[in-house]
Amino acid sequence: MSPLLILCIMRVIQKKELQAVQIVPLIRDAEKYLQAMGLKPTTIKSIVSTWKAVIPFMESHGILLYSAEVESDYLNHYFERTGIDFSLEWSQTVRSRMMRLTEFLLTGEISKRTKLSPSFDSEIGQTVEAFLEQRSRNSRLSAYTVEHDRYYLSVFLEQMNRRRVLHVDELGAELINGFLSSLDVNKVSLRHHIIRELRLYLKYLYEEGLLKTNLSRMLPSDAYRKTERLPSVYSKDEINAVCNSIDRNSPIGKRNYAVMMFLSRYGLRSSDICGMQFDNILWDNCVIRVLQYKTKEIVELPLTGEVGEALVDYLRHGRPQCDEKHVFIQGISPFRQLTPAGVYGIVKKAVRESGIDICDRRRGPHALRHSLASLLLKEKVVLPVITGILGHKDSDSTRTYLRIDTEELRKCALDVPPVSDSFYMQEGGLFYE
């Protein structure tokens, strides 16, 4: 019998009698469970650190035993500081980790988070592959779009595999209705995209003669509309505070500072920073020439002294010696190119350590892109120039940033026309009754 199973049985026996235990032994046992699950030591250390943060809370409130109620009280207390001491994203991480500790308390287990990766070996899976291939070929879709479409249909395929529905002729109205009812109604956007892609797939099966009934017609037409949200922007002083919070004495700090310079000064996308190679830097001409990943358009930007100095400092004193052709690489061996997730982590950490109040604003790389557009608008830079700096194909994509220029929008507001007293007194003033 495996150590993991033995530990699980022991915890289940204990929890039949106890729903509240001392916090230190609980964390110790939960840590052993995470080790038995095979999690990385650094991941376990981070999770346990989050768990141990509840100990001072319990001591200050005179609480001796940890329970589900203690978790709830602690999270309510913790979330009061959201946006001041830490971000909403980190609060959600803390909530998830505390829920895992409580799950271990009540069940003796910690559910393993797994990525969606259904098998495509069934007949349904093979037709999904054929559908995606045809759709990609006929519609000239990018690899990015095809990958998202694959994910949406994977949700459907995963459930079919679990139900042992492997053949196309087994698909029917009742099965489709059951799948639709299983979708989370709160995840409006995801539900919309899954239904849209499933509709196209079922139509494909009918047109190819694999289904006798056009099941695509029974799928609901939801009234989903993407909710417009104002871009998150930061002031010039806030951006400088974020950049200056980075410790440039270490190799990683030199890299992170250079990345922040490219993000905040040029508004480059994280994918373009990750894909930047040495050939893209024309030192003699002081120009950066980048082929954008998203638009496939080339953008040329001047290599300013501020950015150039940060880049040279990183290349000379921070970048490890390796054959990697990309400029920005990961800090540990093997030295591969930096990933967009890595860039996001750089910005997230810098914003948190800067101590600025983020309120409800996002704090990823794209927020710096929005901030640059906002600062340019305040400097009265014309829209076509901003379009060129941000690398948009046309000014239509740039016009979305006009929504954040509130000072100029106020100038467009019209005065409310006066209304005569006779309007309100018509029919003896019964208008108000």
Find the DSSP H helices in 140-289: 143-162, 173-182, 188-207, 236-244, 251-266, 270-275
Question: Is residue 16 annotated as part of the catalytic site, yes or no?
Answer: no
Catalytic residue among 66, 74, 78, 401: 401
Active site residue 326: no
DSSP state of 22: -
Q: Choose, from 100, 191, 369, 370, the residue flagged as catalytic.
A: 369
Cβ(281)–Cβ(327) below 8 Å: yes
Nearest of 182, 331, 179 to residue 250 by alpha carbon: 331
- Active-site entry in 269, 352, 361, 362: 269
Q: Is the dihedral of CA 314, 319, 325, 326 positive or negative?
A: negative
Choose among 362, 401, 403: nearest CA to 385: 401
What angle in degrees, to the nearest 10, is found between the helix axes of 188-207 and 143-162? Answer: 80
The amino acid at residue 329 is I
Catalytic, out of 294, 317, 399, 403: 294
167 among known catalytic residues: no
Q: Are 264 and 243 in contact (CB under 8 A)?
A: yes
Locate 238 and state its tokens.
């806030």
Options 193, 199, 366, 378, the catalytic residue: 366
Asked about 269 being catalytic, the answer comes back as yes
List 254, 255, 363, 392, catalytic entry: 392
> What positions carry a catalytic annotation?
269, 294, 366, 369, 392, 401
